[in-house]
Amino acid sequence: MHKYYLYARKSSDSEDRQVLSIEAQIQELHDFALASKLEIVKTFTESMSAKNPGRPVFNQMLIELEQGNADGIISWHPDRLARNMYDGGRLLHLIDQGLVQDLKFPNFYFDKTANGKFNLSIAFSQAQYFIDGLRENVKRGIRQKVRRGEYPGKAPCGFINNPRTKAIDPDPEFFHVVKHYLERFADGELTQRQFRDQMYQAGIKGARSNKPLAYSSIYKIFTNSFYYGYFKLNGELHEGSHQAMITKETFDKIQKRLSVKYRDHNKKDNREFLFTNFAKCGECGYSITQEWHKRRSIVFKYYRCTHKHKEHDCTQRKYIREENLAEQVKNLVANFALPDDYYPKLIAKVEEWREEEQTQLKTQNISLEHNLDEIRAKLNRLLDLQLDGELELEEYKNKKNKLVVQKSKIQEKISSLSVSGSIWFESIMTFLNTCNQAHHSLRDENYKQMLRLLRKTGLNPTILNEKLQLEMIRPYDFLSEVPSLTGSYCIPVENHAVKIQQTLKESVGGKNAEERSSEALCHTAFSERFSASCPRRGEAEPRALLGSLGLGISEWYPQGNSNPCCTDENRVS
């Protein structure tokens, strides 16, 4: 009686999705061997795809067959033995050499005749053809998903694969958590170690462990373009249809931080510096470094220029104490701080402006829609005249072209009206929220939050002669020229009066909505409201500006003292 090896294989790939499990194959083959009176001397099992050569268990079985330990093989189907021509050819060669006497399959008949070997080779070829077709189908499906903007892979941290739509959706539990910490890392508030620890505390852990994410996984999160709405496939960048977590600007900030070589020391709290990598030297433009000295168990922290410019001998030799720098940072933030007492009043005023503008926009929109309907009616009548032969083709084209141009202009105006109101409203709300956050950071002495706000509201922070300087961007440059709501900051009336007058002149000097730059949109909206609400048009003093918001000088300064810069003698008319 011939001796047989039993070979059972199951792949985790999709081509074997409908094939019996290894345990089921073994049971079926044992029943088949018992019914056919075949002797099984050894069982080989393998969980590996057969589309590529190199299966270790299959190769070991062939070696033992060459040694004469058995005469044949029992398997469920020829595609269990080989799905590539190399392994199929090896098996056919052993049959030709007489080293394999027989092959037995419950659902396939084989004998050692020419027809039997031909049919076996056809079965191997069909298995190879099935794999090749499946590969092409998978690639075609991936290309189609990419065309739709869908990432054909596992969702990154903060997203989930939707099994119903086959799309990638924001994770309802961790999307905003990851977004928050990515933005904080981009703003320099967190190191990589702190980012990793904060994510772990929020419940984001390793996929196969209960430990914090590995630093390699953290780096993949930082460098994954998926988070700002794009994804890479085979080195090519594609636009995604999924919801972006962060902006491209935030992603670029993260890459800039990663490009800076630094060591994340686990320092003691009393040696941590508050303003690392915040400002540059105002003379040579090189970085400001920090150092500390310990005297009688007290740590003193200082900031100075690195003096690394090779061509310029920087004269900034003095150190600035961290306490002094912290006070200057607080003064800068106080320039645009908005206390909680006034925040809801301003919000209510902006909501009032929005309602007024919505009413005006609605009236304008009705008028434009009426004009659009008239043009459509004219186009229909014009077409009827041309079809009835009462109008020459050339005259019809000329008149139609003029009406189409008018129609296009009206449609553009309707489109601009639908978005213009929301743009200035969102800009002003962002402005007020930022100013209120500045007040909270001052109240809590949260210097990390202060630095984040200064990076958002200013440009090019420098230290020159122990003074911190910052170029404020609009509209915060406008507000910083008005005495702070906290009453702790005041500048000469000549400076802020001239500044406000210039701002009002720019905002109402004949510019239409299309000519205003996007960066000045919020600033312009405030200025126009202030100018329109002033009793005397063009009078630019804080008393008139406050009056437009329903606030008086006594409300602006809760101490009950008027700003000395705004006395009757110093008014500017």
173 and 107, same structural domain? no
Q: Identify whether 529 is part of a domain.
A: yes
Q: Is the pLDDT of residue 526 over 60?
A: no
Is the Cα torsion angle 413, 419, 425, 431 positive or negative in sign? negative
Q: Among 148-152, 266-270, 307-311, 504-508, name the one with the lowest average pLDDT.
A: 504-508
**For the residues 545-550, what does the mean pLDDT come to?**
45
Residue 394 lies in a domain: no
Residue 328 covered by a domain: no
DSSP string computed for 380-445 = HHHHHHHHTTSS-HHHHHHHHHHHHHHHHHHHHHHHHHHHHHHHHHHHHHHHHHHHHHHHHHHHHT
Reported as a single tens digit per residue, the pLDDT across 226-246 is: 999 888 888 778 888 899 999
- Determine the structural domain holding residue 503 and report its residue range: 474-573
State yes or no: pLDDT of 422 exceeds 90.
no
Q: Is 42 helix (H, G, I), strand (E, B) or coil?
A: strand
| Cβ 175 vs Cβ 158: under 8 Å | yes
φ, ψ at 238 (rounded to 5°): -125, 145
Burial class of residue 421, CB neighbours in 10 A (0-12, 13-18, 19+): middle
| Closest residue by Cα to residue 522 from 437, 457, 440 | 457
CATH code of the domain in which 251 resides: 3.90.1750.20
pLDDT, mean of residues 448-459:
86
Domain annotation covers residue 127: yes
Rounded Cα distance, 81 and 88, in Å: 8
Both 8 and 141 in a single domain? yes
Return the structure tokens found at 426.
């969102």
Looking at residue 456, its pLDDT comes to 85
pTM (2 decimals)? 0.43
In the predicted model, is pLDDT for residue 546 greater than 70? Answer: no
**Spatial separation of the C-alpha atoms in residues 258 and 224, rounded to whole Å:** 13
CA 435 – CA 458 distance, rounded (Å): 13
The CATH number of whichever domain residue 9 belongs to comes to: 3.40.50.1390
What is the pLDDT, as a whole number, of residue 261? 59
Q: What is the mean pLDDT of residues 258-287?
A: 70
The distance from CA 296 to its chain's CA centroid, rounded to whole angstroms, is 48
Percent of the chain with pLDDT over 90: 14
Same structural domain for residues 138 and 178?
Answer: no
- How many other C-beta atoms lie within 10 A of the C-beta of residue 369? 12
Q: How many domains does the chain have?
A: 3
Pairing of strands 236-239, 230-233: antiparallel
From the centroid of its chain, how far is CA 120? 54
Lowest mean pLDDT among 11-25, 242-256, 325-339, 467-481: 11-25
Shared domain for 10 and 131, answered yes or no, is yes
On whether both 38 and 112 belong to a single domain, the answer is yes
Band (pLDDT 50/70/90 cuts) for residue 252 is: very high
CA 248 vs CA 170, 222, 252: distances in Å: 18, 12, 6
Do both 31 and 119 map to the same domain?
Answer: yes
* Residue 570: band (very low, low, confident or very high) from pLDDT cuts 50, 70, 90: very low
Domain boundary among 145, 173, 188: 145
Q: Is residue 271 included in any domain, yes or no?
A: no
Binned at pLDDT 50, 70 and 90, residue 564 comes out as very low
pLDDT band of 527, cuts 50, 70, 90: very low
Same domain assignment for residues 123 and 99 = yes
Q: Are residues 132 and 24 in the same domain?
A: yes
DSSP letter, residue 105: B
Residues 128 and 204 in one domain: no
39 part of a folded domain: yes
407/498: higher pLDDT? 407
Q: Which residue matches tokens 């005749």? A: 113
pLDDT value, residue 299: 77
Structure-token pair, residue 351: 């909501």
10 and 140 in one domain? yes
Q: pLDDT over 70 for what percent of the chain? A: 78
How many C-beta atoms lie closer than 10 Å to residue 330's C-beta? 18
pLDDT tens digit sequence for 104-159? 998 888 888 888 888 888 888 888 878 777 778 778 888 888 888 888 889 999 99
- Are 164 and 140 within one domain? no
Tokens of 115: 């027809």
In a domain, 164, yes or no: yes
CB 181, CB 190: distance < 8 Å: yes
- What pLDDT score was predicted for residue 142? 80
Tell whether the model's pLDDT for residue 332 goes beyond 90. no
Query: Residue 233 and residue 433: Cα distance in Å, rounded?
Result: 39
Q: What is the pLDDT of residue 271?
A: 56
Domain boundary, last residue among 238, 259, 280: 259
The residue from 113, 145, 177 where one domain ends is 145
Q: Which residue has the higher pLDDT, 357 or 502?
A: 357
> Quick one: pLDDT at residue 336?
82
DSSP-derived letter for residue 549 is T
The single residue listed with the structure tokens 């126009």 is: 528
Tokens of 316: 């900034």
Q: If you average pLDDT over every residue of the chain, what do you get? A: 77
Q: Name the band, by pLDDT with cuts 50, 70 and 90, for residue 466.
A: confident
Residue 474 has pLDDT above 80, yes or no: no
For the ranges 179-183, 209-213, 342-346, 488-492, the maximum mean pLDDT occurs at 179-183
pLDDT for the residue numbered 549: 47
For residue 190, tell me if it sits in a domain.
yes
**Under a CB-based contact definition with an 8 Å cutoff, are residues 504 and 496 in contact?**
no
Q: What is the pLDDT of residues 60-75, one digit of tens each?
A: 999 998 888 898 999 9
User: Can you tell me the distance from the alpha carbon of 359 to that of 363, in angstroms, rounded to the nearest whole number?
Assistant: 6
Residue range 521-531: mean pLDDT, rounded: 43
- Measured over the CA atoms of residue 159, residue 163, residue 167 and residue 172, the dihedral's sign is negative
Tokens linked to 36? 């056919």
First to last CA, the chain: 118
Same domain, 96 and 228: no
Q: What is the mean pLDDT of residues 372-383?
A: 89
* Two tokens, residue 247: 């902006």
